[in-house]
């Protein structure tokens, strides 16, 4: 199997940077219709994946949907 034929180039992929806010991550994920998005460090290396469940756990722990609270926390 030729993986290059089924993989999407990084420039065409939606991803989050580790220093983006929770609010930004949530908006990017919703706008693109994904349920999980890779997170990259400042060098562009993969460090993990954030999912809808991660955002929901954050909202439950925070006890609010306040966008200012979401803006003050990083992915």
Query: What are the structural domains of the chain?
Result: 12-71 (3.10.580.10)
> 39-48 pLDDT, tens per residue?
999 998 999 9
> 1-34 pLDDT, tens per residue?
676 777 777 677 899 999 999 999 999 999 999 9
Q: If DSSP states are collapsed to H, E and C, what string results for 44-72?
A: CCEEEEEEHHHHHHHHHHHCCCCHHHHHC
Q: What per-residue confidence (pLDDT) applies to 24?
A: 95
């Amino acid at each position: 199997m030729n993986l290059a034929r089924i993989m999407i180039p990084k420039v065409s992929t939606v991803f989050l940077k580790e220093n983006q806010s929770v609010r930004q991550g949530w908006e990017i994920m919703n706008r693109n219709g994904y349920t999980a998005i890779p997170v990259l460090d400042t060098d562009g290396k993969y460090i993990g994946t954030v999912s809808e469940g991660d955002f929901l756990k954050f909202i439950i722990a925070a006890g609010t949907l306040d966008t200012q609270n979401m803006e003050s926390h990083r992915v």
